[in-house]
Amino acid sequence: MTERCGQSMDRRVAALLAMTENGYRNGRSSRAPVSVSECTMPKTVAVVGSGPAGLIAAERLAGAGFAVTVHDRMPSVGRKFLLAGRGGLNLTHTEPYDDFVGRYAEAAPFLRPMLDAFRPEDLVDWVEDLGEETFEGTSGRVFPRSFKASPLLRKWLARLDGLGVRFALRRRWTGWTPEGALRFEGPEGEEIVTADAVLLALGGASWPRMGSDGAWTTILAEKGVPLAPLRASNMGFDVAWSSIMRERFAGEPIKRAFFSHAGRGLRGEAVVTAEGLEGGAIYALSASLRETIAAEGAAELRIDLRPDMAEERIAERLSAPRGKASQATFLHRAAGLSPVGIALMRESTGGPLPAEAKALARLVKSVPLRLTGARPIERAISTAGGVMFEAVDDGLMLKALPGVFVAGEMLDWEAPTGGYLLTACFATGVRAAEGITGF
Ligand SMILES: Cc1cc2nc3c(=O)[nH]c(=O)nc-3n(C[C@H](O)[C@H](O)[C@H](O)COP(=O)(O)OP(=O)(O)OC[C@H]3O[C@@H](n4cnc5c(N)ncnc54)[C@H](O)[C@@H]3O)c2cc1C
């Protein structure tokens, strides 16, 4: 399991010092990655999962002198990370730190120490240190200037290569042998791998075509690891649209509206889909919408189509004579409503719109839409549920499986889009690497 200090010690110390001066320069970590006098650290680490959580852990561990192999079932690394890059790769967010941590809701107390040690600005520094420029969008979201993940991943892999990290791709982890070795299904059949420590960074269950399919839940459940069921997070919802709505408005954005549910709301954007609604504002409310649908069979979303205009003012404008204009033209001229906004109002009443200006204005300010189901996890941006916090120690080692650590989206937290997902994947990956280092 461990080795005595030998020739590799010099290499480890040198790497450790380099790490302290370089890698940890931006880390703001109060936890030393490893004690120089320590001779009992694990020598080999098997990282399973080549997403951001697994790769940052591999970087930290290889930098500290461990022999790291990253295994993945896919033929290439970081597929979901690359997919995230198609949307611009929102790395993190610059809002005040306490607000940032608050986005993790019930998981915030658990994640805070890890985020304290790897803060949003540390992620930005790390990206820039790799030679990728970043910029802050108007909303405080931070992106690479390239708006892509591929240049970043390429540079990251070059760094990992320089650190001696090895990759074993097309290897699906299937569990353990009775002796405790890792079992993989590879191109040539079963492969058995032993390592001094294991990091599972297998992701959630969204977009399984990208690699993370949640099959690990069965394996860990059998080992007695407490798990919360995997659920879609940051996903769209079903609405029983009329055929007119589906045919004419699918793909139309609902812009600059205020979306609310169960006393929580936000200004943002959504998109009408053939099945219902999706988009940033919907994702932000997805956890409470999902829970309401699970408990009650449906959830009511309210949309204020003119959040900048008071109801009285809208009523006043709508009481002007309509003349020969069609209702849609009148609503557009008088209240600035878009065709999709008017269509949403019609869908909500299921019939004609109220004739009276005050009732019409009330509807503009609060269009009720009944959401009847959540879109499947396969199409969700992320996953809620997973390894429960009580299942791990401070270094993210599974209490039921000493020597096995977990990181990233497979842990039981969820967060809205806005860079919170990647930041927590990085922060937990860094923490797991520290846990392994101190193991
Ligand atoms: C469309 C889309 C856009 C997104 N955009 C953003 C964004 O802009 N900002 C943001 O913060 N987040 C975004 N995310 C979320 C972000 O990509 C994920 O939260 C993040 O990739 C999770 O990292 P991870 O390392 O935990 O897992 P993953 O990236 O899912 O990696 C897990 C790896 O484990 C491998 N694996 C799984 N099971 C096995 C097994 N049995 N054997 C071997 N290997 C296995 C998989 O192949 C995979 O490579 C987006 C997600 C999607 C789907």
| Closest by Cα among 220, 172, 196, 203 to 392 | 220
CA-to-CA distance for 86 and 262, rounded, in angstroms?
32
The pLDDT of residue 39 is 53
What domains sit in the chain, N to C, each tagged with a CATH number? 8-232+382-437 (3.50.50.60), 237-374 (no CATH)
Mean pLDDT, consecutive 10-residue stretches, the chain (439 aa), reads 38 35 33 42 88 98 97 97 95 98 97 98 98 94 97 97 97 97 97 98 97 98 98 97 96 97 95 97 96 97 97 96 90 95 96 93 98 96 98 98 98 96 98 96
Say which residue the tokens 């994640």 belong to.
111
Name the token pair of 377. 């996890």
Q: Which atom of ligand 1 is closest in space to residue 54's alpha carbon? A: 25
Decide whether any atom of ligand 1 lies within 6 Å of the 434 Cβ: no
Name the token pair of 75. 């033929």
| Closest by Cα among 15, 70, 3 to 39 | 3
CA-to-CA distance for 220 and 406, rounded, in angstroms?
11
Measured in Å, residue 321 CA sits from the centre of ligand 1 at: 55
Decide whether any atom of ligand 1 lies within 6 Å of the 93 Cβ: no
Say which residue the tokens 């949307």 belong to.
87
Measured in Å, residue 76 CA sits from the centre of ligand 1 at: 13
Q: Are 38 and 13 in contact (CB under 8 A)?
A: no
The rounded Cα 111 to chain-centroid distance in angstroms is: 14
CA-to-CA distance for 436 and 44, rounded, in angstroms?
10
Q: How does DSSP assign 79-95, residue by residue?
A: HHHHHHHHTT---EE-S
Ligand 1, atom 41, lies closest to the CA of: 173
Ligand 1 mutation target, pool 184, 199, 381, most atoms within 8 A of CB: 381
Decide whether any atom of ligand 1 lies within 6 Å of the 198 Cβ: no
Decide whether any atom of ligand 1 lies within 6 Å of the 414 Cβ: no
The pLDDT of residue 296 is 97
The pLDDT of residue 40 is 56
CA angle at residue 177 from 171 to 180, to 5 degrees? 105
Sign of the Cα torsion 259, 265, 268, 273 reads negative
Give the DSSP letter of residue 133.
Answer: -
SS3 339: helix
Say which residue the tokens 């591929």 belong to.
150
Decide whether any atom of ligand 1 lies within 6 Å of the 79 Cβ: yes
Dihedral Cα 367, 285, 256, 330, nearest 10 deg = -10
Decide whether any atom of ligand 1 lies within 6 Å of the 408 Cβ: yes
Q: Are 180 and 33 in contact (CB under 8 A)?
A: no
SS3 8: helix
Name the token pair of 356. 């009276």
CA-to-CA distance for 52 and 50, rounded, in angstroms?
7
Measured in Å, residue 402 CA sits from the centre of ligand 1 at: 25
Name the token pair of 74. 């896919």
Give the DSSP letter of residue 31.
Answer: S
CA angle at residue 98 from 430 to 285, to 5 degrees? 90
Ligand 1, atom 31, lies closest to the CA of: 51
Ligand 1 mutation target, pool 422, 426, 428, most atoms within 8 A of CB: 422
| Closest by Cα among 416, 406, 407 to 384 | 416
Q: Are 257 and 281 in contact (CB under 8 A)?
A: yes
State the DSSP H helix or E strand holding residue 301, giving kind and residue range, or none if neither: strand 299-304
Give the DSSP letter of residue 374.
Answer: E
Decide whether any atom of ligand 1 lies within 6 Å of the 212 Cβ: yes
The pLDDT of residue 22 is 36
Residues in the chain: 439
Name the token pair of 176. 């353990």
The pLDDT of residue 350 is 92
Q: Are 410 and 386 in contact (CB under 8 A)?
A: yes
